[in-house]
Structure 1
Amino acid sequence: MPVKHSHKALRGFTLVELLLAIAVMSLLAILSWRGLDGMVRAQEITRQRADEMLVLQAALGQWGTDLDALMPIANTTPLDWDGQVLRLTRRSSAVPDEGALVVAWTRRNANGGGQWLRWQSPPVRTRADWQQAWEQAAQWARTPGDAERRYEVALLPLDSWQLFYYRGGAWSNPLSSTGATPGDSGATLPDGVRLQITLPPGQALVGQLTRDWVNPVLGGGRS
């Protein structure tokens, strides 16, 4: 007598089940994408912050190097701040020594925002060369031409900046500081210089930053 085998009918997915599975997979894909996108954004912010920190450190390092290399010359002004541009005379770091350098720092509006800029003259060896470079630095800060722009370097975005001199045991505005004798180049050097810069919003680094420089000759160990 033949044996009858009962076969259970094979059942596939219904349309509703397929749609539900697709919806679940889509939801998982969206969540995964958001997670990856968040990781990429975090890495980008970290990289941008690191890059801006390196630029800021390089700019402040150059600022300190310029002040450390101040070079008073008889009957000249080694350091001058007029509220817009800081001009100074410094030693050259080239070997062999090529002569003194005139350096200027300023903030200028460019491309819809402020930029911190540094200008450096070619080496000067005579009083006439120094005077020409000193005047050229002032012109560069106000109405720069192509000749002056050749020696400028854009450092970083800057919202504002201010300087203070340390004299007589207190910080004060350089434009109102006293204690310098006209014609005495050494007396015009303050015991310290305080730099206050404000970084603009929209960057990885924002807000106000203060950096103090102490004159290694006149300032002694004071801060």
Structure 2
Amino acid sequence: MRRARGFTLIELLVAISIMALLAVLSWRGLDGMSRAREQARVRGDEVLALQAGLAQWGVDLDSITERPDGTGASQITPLDWDGRALRITRRSSGRAAEGLRVAAWSRRTLADGNSWWLRWESGPLVTVGQWTQAWAQAALWAQNPGDAERQREVPVARADAMQLFYYRNNAWTNPLSSADATTSTAASAAAAASAVATATALPDGVRLVLSLSPGQAFAGTITRDWVSSRVVPGT
């Protein structure tokens, strides 16, 4: 009689161990691929958000309205940087009947503990009173926003610092530097009035310097220059 041949217990244990090792290695490989794909998706979303934010920054500045038509138009400020937020009075992108809008850009720490570069925009404004309220709301949003202000903000990218410069008289300067004049005589008062007029006039260009936080798709310092169409017609 020929004895039937089979596997011993040791052979089965060795085979099971090899299969378990292969399964672990396969799982780690699949897990690594899944993590890499998720990280690539997150990085891609960060790149798209930053590109969209920089594009919207240019659109807001291109849409600045200097002196809109209507009663009380002289009360409307087209552009202002107070050290916290850049506020812009801009034309609505839709129909002309929608009036104006106030857009604002700032950097602030959110609930996640990270500092973000943010954008805020009001609804359509058709009266000076509505503009005044939206202008004040934009300033409040940059400092101590409530729930109503937060509903209109859009986080763009994590940023550790935000700096702004205006291009005037063939030089880049701090927008707040001309507001430090003191008036002791009539001559100095006239000089101060001239400085204030220069500070409130629209600049020929605006330079944005962002220090992007590490750990995202782009990190380090990024600079974006905008040039007014008054300087380069057609831009």
TM norm structure 1 = 0.81
- Residues 104 and 137 of structure 1 are in contact (CA less than 8 Å); yes or no, is this contact kept in structure 2? yes
Aligned residues: 214
Identity of aligned residues (%): 56
**Secondary structure of the equivalent of 1:97?**
helix
1:215 aligns with: 228
1:102 aligns with: 102
Deviation at residue 221 of structure 1 after TM alignment? 9.2
Q: Which entry has the higher C-alpha Rg, 1 or 2?
A: 1
AA at the equivalent of 2:165: F
Q: Distance in 2 between matches of 1:21 and 1:116?
A: 57
- Which one has the bigger helix percentage? 2
Query: Would the alpha carbon gap of residues 96 and 169 (structure 1) be closer, same or farther in structure 2, given more than 3 Å must change?
Result: closer
Q: Which residue, 11, 27, 33 being the options, matches 2:5? A: 11
Q: Distance in 1 between matches of 2:142 and 2:116?
A: 12
**Secondary structure of the equivalent of 1:88?**
strand
Structure 1 position 197 matched with structure 2 position 198: no
Cα RMSD between the aligned structures?
A: 2.8
Pairing 1:160-171 to 2, within 5 Å after superposition: 160-171=161-172
Q: Distance in 2 between matches of 1:149 and 1:20?
A: 62
Pairing 1:1-223 to 2, within 5 Å after superposition: 8-73=2-67, 74=74, 76-111=76-111, 112-176=113-177, 182-183=196-197, 188-219=201-232
- Residues 178 and 196 of structure 2 are in contact (CA less than 8 Å); yes or no, is this contact kept in structure 1? no
1:31-71 CA-to-partner distances (Å, cap 9, x unmatched) read 21121112111111111111122222222221111011011
1:125-168 CA-to-partner distances (Å, cap 9, x unmatched) read 44444333322321222222344344433334333221122223
**Secondary structure of the equivalent of 2:123?**
coil
Query: Would the alpha carbon gap of residues 152 and 64 (structure 1) be closer, same or farther in structure 2, given more than 3 Å must change?
Result: same
Q: Indicate the larger mover: 23-32 or 82-91.
A: 23-32
For structure 1, the residue ranges without an aligned partner over 5 or more in a row are: 1-6
Query: Would the alpha carbon gap of residues 167 and 211 (structure 1) be closer, same or farther in structure 2, given more than 3 Å must change?
Result: same
- Residues 192 and 212 of structure 1 are in contact (CA less than 8 Å); yes or no, is this contact kept in structure 2? yes
For structure 2, the residue ranges without an aligned partner over 5 or more in a row are: 68-73, 180-193
